[in-house]
Amino acid sequence: RELIDGIVFNMSPAPSRRHQEIFGILFNLFFNYLTDKKCRVYGAPFDVRFPDSHEEDEAITTVVQPDILVVCDESKLDDRGMKGPPDLIIEITSPATSHLDLKEKFDLYERHGVKEYWIVHPYEETVMLNLLGSDGEYQKAKLFAGDDKIEVSIFKDLIIDLNVVFDRNKNKSLPSQ
**Confidence band for 170, pLDDT divided at 50, 70 and 90:** low
Work out the angle at residue 161's Cα, subtended by the Cα atoms of residues 164 and 66, and round it to the nearest 5 degrees: 80
* Spatial separation of the C-alpha atoms in residues 104 and 8, rounded to whole Å: 12
Residue 131 C-alpha from the chain's centroid: 12
Please answer whether residues 50 and 62 qualify as being in contact, where contact means their C-beta atoms are separated by less than 8 angstroms.
yes
Does the global pTM surpass 0.75?
yes
155 vs 4, higher pLDDT:
155
* Spatial separation of the C-alpha atoms in residues 67 and 45, rounded to whole Å: 8
* Spatial separation of the C-alpha atoms in residues 66 and 63, rounded to whole Å: 10
pLDDT (average), residues 22-50: 97
Alpha-carbon distances, residue 90 vs 101, 146, 173 (angstroms): 10, 19, 22
Q: What's the mean pLDDT when you consider all of the chain? A: 90
